[in-house]
Structure 1
Amino acid sequence: MFPARHVEPRPGTSADDFQIYASYRGSTASGFFGTLKVVRKTDGRLLFPFDGADTIGPFATKADAVAAALARGDTVVSADLARPEL
Structure 2
Amino acid sequence: MSQSTGRRPKLVLFPTRNVPPAAGHSKEDFQIYASYRGTSASGFFGTLKVVRKTDGRLLFPFEGADNIGPYATKAEAVEAAQLRGDEVVSGDLARPEL
Pick the TM interval, shorter chain.
over 0.9
Counterparts of 2:17 and 2:85 in 1: how far apart (Å)? 27
Q: Which runs of 5 or more residues in structure 2 are unaligned?
A: 1-15
Structure number with higher relative contact order (C-alpha < 8 Å, ≥ 6 residues apart): 1
Matched with 1:12 is: 24
Structure 1 residue runs without a partner (length 5+): none
Size of the aligned set, in residue pairs, is 83
CA RMSD between the two structures: 0.7
Moved over 6 A (4+): none
Please, which of 44, 47, 62 is the counterpart of residue 35 of structure 1?
47
Instruction: Pick one of 61, 77, 83 that aligns with 1:49.
Output: 61
What is the identity, as a one-letter code, of the residue corresponding to 1:18? F
Deviations 1:23-65 (A, max 9, x none): 0000000000000000000000000000000000000000000
1:23 corresponds to which of 30, 35, 57 = 35
